């Protein structure tokens, strides 16, 4: 089903680095919310990944495989 | 056939040929699937239409003229039209990677099947019209041809989404700061502030409510919703390019409530709600979506 994409974690952008650890995606640590959003926006423009807000100071970027 | 000793009555063949050709050309114009879009596409479809009408109309004439070999060859030629579906599917699938809002495999299959069937329909119309002309003469043949074309059109025009689903405008808003909602339907999570502002300022949303069980079944089909999205984007345009995945138009079911309603969110170029609703209503119902009643939780809940 090409219509139902499978999201794969691509990157993590956070201001609270103690809330994330390990895994397959690189973690970008930002000083404040503004920088976090700037990094996330740049990453999404470059990689076509989708930004999601986890509401705990962390943004995740996912890429749809086969979407 | 000129070697035949009996004189050939050409009238059935000519009337049948014209009826078949007209039947095919009418359907080429009324297509709203945005295909074919180029003169070259029309030419290849026209060439196939001529061949199909030719085959259909000449079968009876060659049988009457006792040219059984010719008639056999014509039925052989008819089987060549199986390839039409493959050709259409390949072309559209290749295009899929190059367009921003894809049609979805279900829609492509639907278009391919329709194109194949249209050629067979032209053949049938030509055959039946030539039969009528053979029996009833020129005038009755022409009248019969017109009736055949009309019947063919009624027979081939499938349902539209608007027939079984209500489409109403709805407000676009954000819950918890980042969750994009159309009316009561949650669409997606928009993590960046700029696209959120853009959605609130320029976005359009509609709610799709099924009128009956058939509408329910149709809406639960992913391909059908992708086709609706494609038609919506084709009508009002979409502010999107590579690198802007959050500005993709979406059509999603109301989950986890599973009320059977769907929402459609789009960032249009032309902010015209009437045009958007008209486009959604005009989307053809895909063949694949008709038989998916089992996938609708709402219907199954009602039946239990």
Q: What is the pLDDT of residues B186-225, one digit of tens each?
A: 888 888 888 888 888 888 999 999 888 888 888 888 888 8
Task: Confirm whether A60 is domain-assigned.
Answer: yes
Q: Residues in chain B whose beta carbon is closer than 8 A to a beta carbon of chain A?
A: 104-106, 176-178, 189-194, 222-223, 226, 242-246
What are the strands of the beta sheet with A27-29, ordered from one edge?
A27-29, A6-14, A58-65, A50-53
Q: Min CA distance, A30 vs chain B (Å)? A: 15
Which of B89, B92, B104, B245 to mutate: most A Cβ within 10 Å?
B245
Its ipTM equals 0.74
* DSSP strand pairing (B165-170 vs A58-65): unpaired
Q: Is A1 on the interface with B (CB under 8 A)?
A: yes
Provide the β-strand partners of residue A64. Answer: A7
Residue A17's CB is within 10 A of a number of other CB atoms, namely: 14
Q: How far is A32 from chain B (nearest CA, A)?
A: 14
- Per-residue confidence (pLDDT) for residue B30, from 0 to 100: 53
Residue A1 within a domain? no
Q: Residue B236 has what pLDDT?
A: 87
Is residue A48 in a domain?
yes
Instruction: State pLDDT tens for residues A16-46.
Output: 888 888 778 889 999 988 899 899 989 988 8
**Positions in chain B short of pLDDT 50:** 1-4, 304
Domain-embedded: residue A42:
yes
The predicted structure's pLDDT at residue A66 = 54
CB contact under 8 A, A53 and B222: no
What pLDDT, on the 0 to 100 scale, is given for residue B295? 57
Q: How far is A67 from chain B (nearest CA, A)?
A: 10
Residue B296 is predicted with a pLDDT of 60
Closest to B260 in 3D by CA, of B295, B304, B303, B223: B295
The number of domains in chain A is 1
Cβ contact, residue pair A44, B246, below 8 Å = yes
CB-based contact, A55 to chain B, within 8 Å: yes
Phi and psi for A11 in degrees, rounded to 5?
-155, 160
Of B191, B226, B243, the CB nearest to A45: B243
C-alpha separations of A9 from A50, B234, B252 in Å: 10, 31, 22
> Which chain B residues are Cβ-neighbours of A53 within 8 angstroms?
177-178, 189, 191
**Sign (positive or negative) of CA dihedral B115, B286, B157, B12:** positive
Mean pLDDT score of chain A: 83
By residue range, what is the domain housing residue A21? Answer: 6-65
Q: Residue B222 and residue B250: Cα distance in Å, rounded? A: 11
Task: Please report whether residue A45 resides in a domain.
Answer: yes
Asked if A53 is an interface residue toward chain B (Cβ–Cβ < 8 A), one would say yes
Domain boundaries, chain B: 11-157, 162-303
Residues 32-51 of A with CB under 8 A from B: 37, 40-41, 44-46, 48-51
pLDDT at B304: 42
DSSP string, B120-134: HHHHHHHHHHHHHHH
**Given this model, what pLDDT does residue A1 score?**
38
First to last CA, chain B: 66
A6-15, A21-30, A58-67, B44-53: least confidently modelled range = A58-67
């Amino acid at each position: 089903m090409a219509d139902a994409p499978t999201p794969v974690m691509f990157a993590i952008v956070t201001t609270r680095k103690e809330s994330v650890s390990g895994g397959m995606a690189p973690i970008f640590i930002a000083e404040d919310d503004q920088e976090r959003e700037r990094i996330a926006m740049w990453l999404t423009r470059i990689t076509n990944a989708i930004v999601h807000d986890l509401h705990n100071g962390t943004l995740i970027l996912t890429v749809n495989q086969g979407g | 056939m000129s070697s035949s000793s009996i004189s050939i009555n050409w009238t059935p063949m000519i009337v049948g040929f014209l009826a078949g050709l007209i039947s095919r050309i009418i359907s080429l114009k009324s297509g709203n699937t945005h295909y074919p879009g180029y003169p070259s596409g029309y030419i290849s479809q026209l060439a196939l239409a001529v061949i199909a009408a030719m085959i259909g109309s000449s079968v009876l004439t060659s049988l009457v003229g006792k040219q059984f070999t010719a008639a056999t060859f014509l039925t052989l030629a008819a089987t060549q039209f199986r390839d039409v579906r493959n050709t259409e599917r390949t072309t559209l699938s290749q295009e899929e990677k190059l367009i921003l809002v894809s049609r979805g495999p279900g829609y492509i299959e639907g278009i391919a099947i329709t194109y194949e069937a249209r050629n067979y329909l032209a053949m049938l119309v030509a055959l039946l019209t030539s039969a009528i002309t053979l029996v009833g003469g020129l005038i009755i043949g022409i009248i019969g041809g017109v009736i055949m074309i009309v019947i063919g059109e009624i027979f081939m025009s499938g349902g539209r989404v608007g027939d079984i689903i209500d489409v109403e405008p709805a407000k676009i808003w954000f819950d918890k700061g980042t969750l994009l909602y159309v009316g009561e339907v949650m669409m997606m999570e928009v993590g960046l502030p700029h696209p959120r502002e853009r959605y609130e300022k320029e976005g359009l949303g509609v709610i799709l409510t099924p009128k009956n069980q058939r509408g329910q079944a149709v809406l639960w089909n992913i391909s059908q919703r992708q086709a609706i999205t494609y038609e919506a984007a084709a009508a009002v345009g979409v502010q999107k390019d590579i690198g802007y995945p959050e500005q993709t138009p979406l059509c999603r079911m109301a989950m986890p409530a599973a009320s059977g309603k769907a929402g459609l969110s789009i960032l249009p170029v032309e902010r015209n709600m009437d045009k958007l609703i008209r486009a959604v209503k005009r989307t053809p119902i895909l063949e694949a979506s008709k038989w998916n009643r089992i996938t609708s939780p709402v219907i199954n809940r009602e039946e239990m």
